Amino acid sequence: MPIEFNVRLVISAIIFIVIIIILIKFRAGTTKSNAKDSLAIMKEKLDRGEISEKDYEEAKRRRGK
């Protein structure tokens, strides 16, 4: 095998591994454990008086809770 082929193969493997690592980290950052639940956000807004009880109940109804 020519040396150029080996170099291309190694570079391709490195790029592939880097892309996989980036995708894993991106997906890990979007888990629900890090993000606030939308209903919890609405509850905080209700507590601060930014929305009415009716708005909060409507949000709960839409979420099916």
Alpha helices in 1-65 (DSSP H): 3-29, 38-48, 53-63
Domain boundaries, the chain: 1-33, 35-65
Q: Write down the pLDDT at residue 63.
A: 80
pLDDT along the chain (65 residues), means of 10: 90 97 81 66 92 91 78
Q: Write down the pLDDT at residue 34.
A: 43
Instruction: Report DSSP state, residue 38.
Output: H
Please give the distance of CA 43 from its chain centroid, rounded to a whole number.
22
Interatomic CA distance for residues 3 and 8, integer angstroms: 9
Interatomic CA distance for residues 19 and 41, integer angstroms: 33
